[in-house]
Amino acid sequence: MGSRALDAPPRPDAAAASVAKLRGRDPRTLQATAATSPAADAAAASFAALTIKLDYLDAAEIRRVRDAYRFADEAHLGQFRASGEPYITHPIAVAGLCAEWKLDAQAIMAALMHDAMEDCGITKVELIERFGAPVADLVDGLTKLDKLQFSTREESQAESFRKMLLAMSRDVRVILIKLADRMHNMRTMDAMAPAKRSRIARETLDIYAPIAHRLGLNQSYRELQESSFRLLQPWRHAALTKAIQRSRGHRRDAIDRIQRDVERAFASQNLRVQVFGREKTLFSIYRKMREKHLSFAQVSDIFGFRIVVNTLPECYLALGALHQLYKPVPGRFKDYIAIPKANGYQSLHTTLVSPLGTAVEFQIRTEQMHAVAEKGIAAHWIYKAKGLGGNSAQEAQRLGTLWLQSLLDIQDETRDAHEFLEHVKIDLFPDAVYVFTPKSRILALPRGATPVDFAYAIHSDVGDRCVAARINGEPAALRTELRSGDVVEILSAPNARPNPAWLNFVRTGRARSKIRHFLKTLESEESQDLGSKLLAQALRAEGLSLPDHQPDNEADQPLWQQLTRWSGNRSAAELLTDIGLGRKIATIVAKQLARLLAERGARPDAVTLTLGRFGGDEGGNLHPGVVIDGSEGTSVRMAPCCRPIPGDPVTGYFGRGEGLLVHTGDCSTGRRLKVRDSERWMDVAWADEPTRAFDTGLDVLVRDGKGVLAQVASAVSAAEADILHVDMGEPRASQVAELKLLVQVRDRHHLADVMRALRRSPAVEKVGRARPG
């Protein structure tokens, strides 16, 4: 994974020795050679330090960890980091960080071997045989995909992230090992080339630090942020470091005085507490300065205090003692104990006015809450290793698991790796709002979330059928931003469907992926239906009828399997969708299908052949295979160059992957396409009763004056048409102005009524239908 960024290529002779050892040479010979080198001594010393941290494991588990270390040591023999250290020191350091979280023996073993598959040619089968399937699965989840499978670095990175995140959703230990790996890499990044250093730091800040925060690993989150900031903005980091050091000297007396006052107040209440000074991280100071346009001197909450008590009731007793000591700042109290954050974080936050007039934040929590606040989901293993229950740790584990499961939901709806990564990034929100259902259930959503996000958080069916919302009993637009404490009610309709415009304002990855999946499925179904019509029409020209392509029709399935093997599609449905989208030509597919039918003894039918050639149906009415009534959805679109409406002579063009594009018969753009791409054209016709209105353009020349636009709008409205868009055009020196209107009409007769209404308006000089150039 990320550790590979710090690798130097193995020395040729050492690499050969490594391969020989892994493939059966006597390991004792090589161990004897390695034991004499300083590098081997350093590695052995670092593993000895690791074993001291493993005192929570039993003897059998430590033996298994030692076996994994020996295996990893042999696999990485001859490999060195960019700093010149033996490569094995890196897996040992990663395992040491995992040991601080008290992860189990399997996770420690996987940490020691996390680069074995990627860098040393070890297979998953070998790991299963030697260490068992659970350890092999962990290592596999941490292994990047082969870059040779992808055309770009970005594609490779996105797919590797997806693989890791999905492995993480099945076993959270994957991401804990990965975060330990990334933390050690960031600590030792100075030996890397500047460009690579910046790329890895940016990746850490955008992906790994937010994941750590989302899982409640705040200590790791702060370290990854600080390391990334130092590498990406070294000058600003250095300047802020100096400013903080000066500030500590200036404020030491004030901080000491506040701490003495607080300790005395608690002693007078007989409360046994621990008082810790707390300092904002450099990155959080920098981010606040940048977002609020402040100077360093204007950032007032650099220093604060953390109060740790023994029991939950004492949190509120401590809060009362503080509020008696100093005045609280109105609106700055937050109770994260009653309503925990999405990552399980619990604490009371209050901001008080100190004797010097400055605002000071206090955080109050129990020991258990403090462990979860710092270690998050990893606190589960810490308490388990100590033989304690840890309700807060279990709750953090539960919330973390819920988020990890949501990754699987997003993956089910998203097959594109870049899109999946985009959804995950959206879901790694640092701030949350807490809203209520009408039945008082609390939901945590990202700041800026809307009723649509809320609906999808309840259930995907509620989101898909959402039509309106009430917030605190009042009707509200679906794009309204929710605030903490809002009671949200969703109104739905059985025939409603997601609106593509929702993608412009939803904030959660779940809502975004569900909406996109629904729209893609709908487009696929519409395209498949169109493809079926086109193929049936093309096959009629061969005198044959289209066989049933449904999977339950066993008689025709072998025929469709032959056809899809020829076309390169996975199924008949996919082939028909490709035809509907214009990726495959219906006439060419029909000729191949006719050959396959002929091999099975099918013969052209004279009646069908006549229908195919002359476009007649059973009732003798002449019409082509595709009849347009406006209900076709995204598979059939009106060309924006000529904007055809019912009554216009029309023809259809298959753009590659765009479905059927309908042009007017006299469209100049269509004529040019016909010369260049004649085989992609087909006849289409309007239905007798279209189901909707269609867009078309009007050029209106008016006398410039007061109220002209209102007169034009009134005339269009009187003709029962709608104006979608108005363009005033370029200003003229004369007394006339040209308006370009986009209106919705039912057909040509309706358009004629609109134009007559406009001509009767006193302000209108001339009106005509807009034509393509």
By annotation, the residues acting in catalysis are: 118-119
Tell me whether strands 636-638 and 659-664 are parallel, antiparallel or unpaired. parallel
- Per the DSSP assignment, residues forming a β-bridge with 700 are 739, 767
Residue that is written with structure tokens 């401590």 in the block: 318
| Spatial contact of 662 and 684, defined as CB atoms under 8 Å apart | yes
Directed axis angle between helix 153-170 and helix 133-141, to 10°? 140
Computed on alpha carbons and rounded to an integer, the radius of gyration of the chain in Å comes to: 35
Which distant-in-sequence residues (6+ apart) come within 8 Å of 292 by Cβ?
A: none
Could you give the CA distance from residue 177 to residue 138 in angstroms, rounded to a whole number? 9
Residue 473, classified by CB atoms within 10 Å of its CB into exposed (0-12), middle (13-18) or buried (19+), is: exposed
Residue with tokens 């449904």: 550
DSSP tally for the chain: helices H, then strands E: 31, 22
CB proximity list for 416: less than 8 A, separation 6 or greater: none
Q: Hey, what are 449's tokens? A: 């979330």
* Sheet of 488-492, strands arranged across: 474-476, 466-471, 488-492
Task: Residue 743: name the closest of 759, 761, 725, 729 by CA.
Answer: 725
Q: How far apart are CA 162 and CA 421, in angstroms?
A: 7
The encoded tokens of residue 768 equal: 């005509």
Query: Over 176-228, what HEC string results?
Result: HHHHHHHHHHHHCHHHCCHHHHHHHHHHHHHHHHHHHHHCCCHHHHHHHHHHH
Give every CB contact of residue 460 below 8 A, 6+ residues apart in sequence: 514
Place of tokens 């600003």: 236
Q: Whose CA is closest to 311, among 364, 351, 269?
A: 364
Q: How far apart are CA 283 and CA 290, in angstroms?
A: 10
Helix (H) or strand (E) holding 3: none
What the block records as the tokens of 59 is: 């003897």
3-class SS of residue 76: coil
Residue 492 amino acid letter: S
Tell me, what amino acid is at 402?
L
The three-class DSSP label of residue 444 is strand
Cβ(427)–Cβ(531) below 8 Å:
no
How does strand 334-335 pair with strand 348-353?
A: antiparallel
